[in-house]
A and B are shown apart, each in its own frame.
Chain A
């Protein structure tokens, strides 16, 4: 009986080559290490997309998708590389969701994914360096680059007609990276950063910093810091000396405490914070609850990463990375029918029928540049002493 089964299976395989084997996805995340509290939900998110596609029966004429987990450790590049190597060579995965942290993601991409020609889609690596890395078009991410916020900031400023700005950033990687990105984007749009100076957190007196910022001048002061730290001191001192009365506040500065502490003088200032008004986010949250996990940080992005891979395979009618990698952008972006979480069956069906889709997913995915999420930010304006969301971009 057993022999008969396997024989008929073998026969079936020969008859329809698409059935050749299961499609296998690797889910490489840091199940141990600094973000181990986030990764279970992220993996469940990716697996949710896989089981949804399986249940639909629409995926590549009913091909079953299986998944296998690998530990990236988040920080140990050697261990992450070994795990990825094992998944590719011995588990024979067709593509991978991962890795999570930027450092190990880079290591896996350069040492394993490119060498073996396997597509990888990271749900959470945000380093701007990954935007320009050599990747043979194999690397994508559903998380926005930190550089993306710089673009959003530059867009908002230029749209408001503010063409010169002074900038003060907190003296660490976050502040420096964001400030560099804002400066580059703003200047490429014809704006002028009159001064970009660092400030230290935890000081009482910011008069000297503000004096220098004020002399450089500008329509607005961009404060890339933290709202309960130096960022607040800079804004307070600027208002006190009359140096600036308009401020731009990136995500580190958005919180209810700041307008409350500064008072009505902050009204009219603007800012950005990650966020989306896409109905997909709420829908995914319900689905996660039903499946028994929380839609925590990067879980929506993980769902989207797995879903994008499957949709691209369906679109290319192939599970070969070299073939479907060019379909990633096509399924993720307009034009086409918008696909939300829980609608993978519909998406797969449309693709099978040769129609085009625009995958929106849980995190409002829009792949830009070299294949990374455009990133969605809420545009904030302080009105009546409160942070009010005036739009999304």
Chain B
């Protein structure tokens, strides 16, 4: 019984939030990695692109709520999501046309791209604040919980509760579906294969008749869709606040690099590695230890490795260690 209680504590405070947060990071990192592998630059505007997608979802959700259209127990945002994806794809393609294509023609260094993407990031940020403002918006509706802590306690008779939010469930399920789709697309379809070929060796790909403009376009389409999805899921789970997407950029890049930048599998694993290490390292194991150890050994202190103040530092340290020991990342991506 005690060990079950301990497990539930960890599940409730680490595993469930970690899976949801990890999925959001993984989807974000997947977008970053796609741009990196095909277009060969680190797209710092990705966080704001996510924010843009989430903003469209928020606006659409408001409109749908006014029309009394909803999904019952599920959040209305899911209906709004396809529109947000389309708009975000449009924004990504327009940005590529207006900004990035110019540097592609000039065959600029990837550092130039990086700086340009910082400029794009600020432009997007300004645009978003202009449209919706900097305030905090909650746009979740429908049923809030799949499983409530109190209901779980009653059901199992355990001391500890386990709560699963609807948004956490939606996030994990959507992430699994989308990741499966992406892998199917990259490995099984002709377009996907041509993208991988272009990413592996640009000149050889051109020689074999692959149209580079088409590959670039498809990359932006996938990136835009992923960004809107990741941004919306994150906003749905927490709340939509433009500023947070800027600070989300760090764990997303950490995820992409830890997994091996340019490697889609790496991006996903990286997302979960970052999310879980943030949670596991800053978690206080007092209750778990109290349940697992004999009574007399129960700890007085919190049994916490690092204070939560250092949460952000965890992703930094992991990033540093990976770059020092295995610069290609866990799954042999490209070196930056």
A binds B: yes
| A residues apposed to B, CB below 8 Å | 171, 195, 197-200, 202-205, 207-212, 214-217, 228, 232-233, 236, 240-243, 261
Q: Which of A171, A197, A241 lies in contact with B163, CB distance below 8 A?
A: A241
Decide if B302 touches A212 in the complex (CB within 8 Å): yes
Q: Using A195-B302, A202-B244, A228-B136 as known contacts, say yes or no to A208 and B285 having CB atoms under 8 A apart.
A: no
Question: A207 with B309: in contact, given A202-B243, A215-B283, A242-B150 (CB under 8 Å)?
Answer: no
Among B272-286, those with CB < 8 Å from A are: 278-279, 282-286
Question: Which single member of A207, A215, A232 contacts B285 (CB below 8 Å)?
Answer: A215
Residues of B within 8 A of A217 (CB): 287
Please encode chain B, from 13 to 36, with 1 for each CB lying within 8 Å of some chain A CB and 0 for all others.
110010001000000000000000
Minimum-distance CB pairs A-B, first 8: A242-B149, A204-B244, A215-B284, A211-B13, A207-B17, A204-B238, A242-B161, A212-B284
**Counting CB contacts under 8 A, is B99 at the interface?**
no
Range class of the B interface residue count: 35 or more
Q: Is B191 an interface residue (CB 8 A)?
A: no
Contact of B279 among A198, A207, A261 (CB under 8 A): A207
Q: Which residues of B contact A210 (CB under 8 A)?
A: 13
Query: Among residues 10 to 65 in chain B, which have CB atoms less than 8 Å away from a CB atom of chain A?
Result: 12-14, 17, 21
**Are B247 and A197 in contact (CB-based, < 8 A)?**
no
Contact of B13 with A214 in the complex, beta carbons under 8 Å: yes
Chain B, Cβ-Cβ closest to A198: B309
Q: Which residues of A contact B283 (CB under 8 A)?
A: 208, 211-212, 215
Q: Contacts of B304 on A, CB cut-off 8 Å?
A: 212, 215
Complex Cα spacing A228 to B149, Å:
26
CB-CB under 8 A from B110, the residues of chain A are none
A240 shortest CB reach to chain B, Å: 6
Give the contacting residue for B286; candidates A197, A216, A240, A241; CB below 8 A. A216
CB nearest neighbor in B for A212: B284
- C-beta contact mask, B205-246 vs A, less than 8 Å → 1, else 0? 000000000000000000000000000001000110101110
Residues in chain A near residue B136, CB distance under 8 A = 228, 232, 261
Measured in the bound complex, the distance between the Cα atoms of B136 and A283 in whole Å is 39
Which residues of chain A are within 8 angstroms of B311 by Cβ–Cβ distance? Answer: 208-209
Give me 25 A-to-B residue pairs in the complex whose CB atoms sit less than 8 angstroms apart, sorted by A's number.
A197-B308, A199-B308, A202-B243, A204-B248, A207-B13, A208-B282, A208-B308, A211-B279, A211-B282, A211-B283, A212-B282, A212-B283, A212-B284, A215-B13, A215-B283, A215-B284, A215-B302, A216-B302, A236-B239, A240-B163, A241-B13, A242-B12, A242-B148, A242-B161, A261-B138
B165 within 8 Å of A by Cβ?
yes
Interface assignment of B189: CB less than 8 Å from any CB of chain A: no
**B residues apposed to A, CB below 8 Å:** 9, 12-14, 17, 21, 135-136, 138, 148-150, 161, 163, 165, 234, 238-239, 241, 243-245, 247-248, 278-279, 282-288, 302, 304, 307-309, 311
Which chain B residues lie closer than 8 Å to A209 at the CB level? 308, 311
Question: Which A residues lie within 8 Å of B278 (CB)?
Answer: 208
B21 to A207, Cβ gap below 8 A? yes
A280 to B308, CA, bound (A): 46
Q: Which residues of B contact A236 (CB under 8 A)?
A: 239
* Contact of B308 with A216 in the complex, beta carbons under 8 Å: no
- Chain B residues lying within 8 Å of A203, measured Cβ to Cβ, are 244, 247
Query: Shortest Cβ distance from B156 into chain A, in angstroms?
Result: 13
With a 10 A CB-CB cut-off, give which of A197, A199, A210, A215 has the most chain B CB atoms.
A215
Q: Which residue of A lies closest to B149 (CB)?
A: A242
Separation in Å of the B140 CB from the closest CB of chain A? 10
Q: Which residue of A lies closest to B287 (CB)?
A: A215
Q: Given A215-B283, A233-B238, is A202 in contact with B14 using a C-beta cutoff of 8 Å?
A: no
A205 touches B309 (CB 8 A): no
- CB of B28 to closest CB in A, whole Å: 12
* Chain B nearest CB, measured from A310 CB (Å): 48
**Distance, CA A171 to CA B138, complexed state (A):** 24
A204 and B278 CA atoms in complex are apart in Å by 14
A204 touches B234 (CB 8 A): yes
Provide the residues of chain B in CB contact with A207, threshold 8 Å.
13, 17, 21, 279
A262 to B, closest residue via Cβ:
B138
Residue numbers in B under 8 Å from A202 (CB-CB): 241, 243-244, 247
Q: Residues of A contacting B161 with CB < 8 Å?
A: 242
> What residue in chain A is nearest B245 (Cβ atoms)?
A204
- When C-beta atoms are compared, the residue in chain A nearest to B153 turns out to be A242
In the complex, the chain A residue whose C-beta lies closest to that of B16 is A241
**Other A-B pairs, 16, CB within 8 Å; known A207-B279, A208-B311:** A171-B309, A198-B309, A199-B308, A202-B241, A202-B247, A204-B239, A211-B283, A212-B304, A215-B302, A216-B284, A216-B286, A233-B238, A241-B12, A241-B17, A242-B12, A242-B148
Distance A232 CA – B12 CA, assembled complex (angstroms):
20
Distance between Cα atoms of A217 and B148 in the complex (Å): 19
Instruction: Determine the residue in chain B with the shortest Cβ distance to A210.
Output: B13
- Cα–Cα, bound, A211→B243 (Å): 23
User: Whole-angstrom distance from the CB of B56 to the nearest CB of chain A?
Assistant: 18
Give the residues in chain B near A208, CB-CB below 8 Å: 278-279, 282-283, 308, 311
Please, which residues of chain A bring their CB within 8 A of the CB of B248?
204
CA distance A336 to B124 in the complex (A): 66
Q: Are A241 and B239 in contact (CB under 8 A)?
A: no
Chain B residues with CB under 8 Å of A240's CB are: 163, 165
Bound Cα distance from A285 to B103, whole angstroms: 65
A214 to B16 CA separation, bound complex (whole angstroms): 15
Residue in A211, A214, A241 whose Cβ sees the most chain B Cβ within 10 Å: A211
What is the bound-complex CA distance between A202 and B136, given in angstroms?
Answer: 10
